Chain A
Amino acid sequence: MKNLKSYLESGILEQYVLGDLSVKEKLDVENNARQYPEVRKELEEIENALMSYARSNAIDPSKKIKTNFLNAVNNSDQVNISSSVNTGESYVRSLKFYKYAFAASLTLLFISSVLLFNLNNKLNESYVQLAILQSDNQKFTKQVNYKENELSDTKNALQFYQNPTAYKLVTLKGSAKAPEASLLVALNEEKEEVMIDLSSLRMPSNDQEHQYQLWAMVDGKPVDLGVFDAKDDSTGMKKMKFIKDAQSFAVTLEPKGGSLNPTMDKMMAIGTI
């Protein structure tokens, strides 16, 4: 150092001892102290002087502070020792904790799985029951619809019998070929309606290729009034075509869709108005 004397007298060493320097300035002083015994000696003297100054201003604190401090030191020693042992022990403890936590998690998982399984079973059961109920419901709805249809058919049929003046009822009787056959035809000249009462139909069920055909005899000529099917459960009134001045009705069995002229040897029933 070029000017050691002025460095020693600059006051920076006093500041160093008083703790009033930046980190960088402190490092500078420490470097110089290592290099120059003069700096080190100067620092020591400053320190000793200030320590003596502090001693000359000393005040005795109350006795309890000493007790407190020594107790704190003893306790903190125990804490230190136990905490250094603890690093092992707490490791074991935390390991134990994780073991228990893992076991608890597994147990919970198992319980949850069982519950979920049961719940799922119940849900499936409910689905089945729901499906059964729905199909039941559909069945009942169908039945109700069927009954309603039946009821309206019956009501329709009933009006012919309740209005004997408006409707002329003609009962077709079985021919020689089918003596058991019969059919009720209702004729309303005013409304120009011809209806057949399927519930009164007594004829064998027709197959897929054949249908029954209703004819009217007008002045000795057969006139087509439409085709119908005979089934065991056929009910209700079926509206047919209307023709004026019919003298009689007849039913023949014809190929599906009907024929232009009746097949006479397939005559099922006939009735005169």
Chain B
Amino acid sequence: MRLKTKITLSENELVHAILTKDRNGAEALYDMYSSSLYGVIFRIVQHEEIAEDLLQDTFIRIWNSFSSYDASKGRLFTWMVNVARNIAIDKTRSKEFRNNSKTEDIENNVLTVDKQINSKINPEIIGLKDLIGKLKPEHKIILDLVYFEGFTHVEVAQKLEIPLGTVKTRLRNAIITLRKLFN
């Protein structure tokens, strides 16, 4: 079986390639970040087809409005994940989406499980999965609500009925745990 080699560039090279509208830049951009961004989008909309459409929209948005990315203000991925999250959240707030999601919840939960099984097979992240298990559940839920479901800190505090300060502390602790795990 022939594995199609994925293009990988350094972040600086990638930014330069996108700015110059290099076709290899588009491919590298997609290869390097599509699965990570898709993970975020999919967890927000919980619907495979919609999530894939939104992923495509996200990449096109990133490509077309790349001039608004300022490398001095942070990493490329941070900017991109915010673009993806905003597109996905906008979708979940649309009337059409809310009408559909009620009837398709069950089907999508099955898909979610499938997807998670698929992603477990991905050898690249198999070690990471184990690491995530080391996050405290009360930290992880807050991190997931904010990072994967687009909740603001205030919304998390309301949903979990805990003080805003606690949300901030737990989120910070969750990220500190991640830093220890990954760095």
B152/A47 in contact, CB under 8 A: no
Please, what's the 1-or-0 string for B65-104, where 1 marks a CB less than 8 Å from any CB in chain A? 0000000011101100110011000000000000000000
- CB contacts under 8 Å to B, within A162-212, are none
- CA–CA, A14 to B85, complex, Å? 16
- CA–CA, A221 to B123, complex, Å? 161
B146/A49 in contact, CB under 8 A: no
A30/B35 in contact, CB under 8 A: no
B contact residues around A52 at 8 Å (CB): 128, 178, 181-182
In the complex, which of the residues B23, B128, B183 contacts A45, with contact meaning CB atoms closer than 8 Å? B183
- CA–CA, A53 to B43, complex, Å? 13
> Size band of the A side of the interface?
35 or more
Please, what's the 1-or-0 string for B94-130, where 1 marks a CB less than 8 Å from any CB in chain A? 0000000000000000000001101100101100110
A contact residues around B42 at 8 Å (CB): 59
Q: Does B13 contact A (CB under 8 A)?
A: no
A58/B39 in contact, CB under 8 A: yes
- CB contacts under 8 Å to B, within A47-92, are 47-62, 64-66, 68-70, 72-74, 76-77, 80
- CA–CA, A123 to B48, complex, Å? 77
B122/A58 in contact, CB under 8 A: yes
Q: Does B143 contact A (CB under 8 A)?
A: yes
Q: Does A17 contact B (CB under 8 A)?
A: yes
In the complex, which of the residues B56, B82, B116, B168 contacts A72, with contact meaning CB atoms closer than 8 Å? B56
B64/A76 in contact, CB under 8 A: yes
- CB contacts under 8 Å to B, within A2-29, are 9-11, 14-15, 17-20
Which of A15, A64, A73 counts the most B-chain CB atoms under 10 A from its CB? A73
B171/A51 in contact, CB under 8 A: no
A contact residues around B169 at 8 Å (CB): 11
B contact residues around A69 at 8 Å (CB): 26, 30, 56, 59-60, 63
B182/A49 in contact, CB under 8 A: yes
* A5 smallest CB distance to B (angstroms): 13
- CA–CA, A10 to B169, complex, Å? 8
* B167 smallest CB distance to A (angstroms): 8
Instruction: State the total of A-B contacts with C-beta under 8 angstroms.
Output: 149
A47/B75 in contact, CB under 8 A: yes
B contact residues around A72 at 8 Å (CB): 56, 60
B contact residues around A53 at 8 Å (CB): 132, 143, 147, 178, 182
Q: Does A148 contact B (CB under 8 A)?
A: no
B77/A47 in contact, CB under 8 A: yes
B contact residues around A48 at 8 Å (CB): 75, 179, 182-183
Q: Do A65 and B171 form a contact, CB below 8 Å, given A47-B74, A60-B38, A73-B23?
A: no
- CA–CA, A56 to B118, complex, Å? 13
A contact residues around B78 at 8 Å (CB): 17, 47, 50-51
A43/B77 in contact, CB under 8 A: no
A20/B152 in contact, CB under 8 A: yes
Using a CB–CB distance below 8 Å, which chain B residues touch chain A? 21, 23, 26-27, 30-31, 34-40, 42-43, 51-52, 55-56, 59-60, 63-64, 73-75, 77-78, 81-82, 85-86, 115-116, 118-119, 122, 124-125, 128-129, 131-132, 143, 146-148, 152-153, 168-169, 171-172, 175, 178-179, 181-183
Provide a sorted-by-A list of 7 A–B residue pairs whose CB atoms are within 8 angstroms.
A19-B85, A44-B75, A47-B78, A48-B179, A49-B179, A57-B40, A59-B35
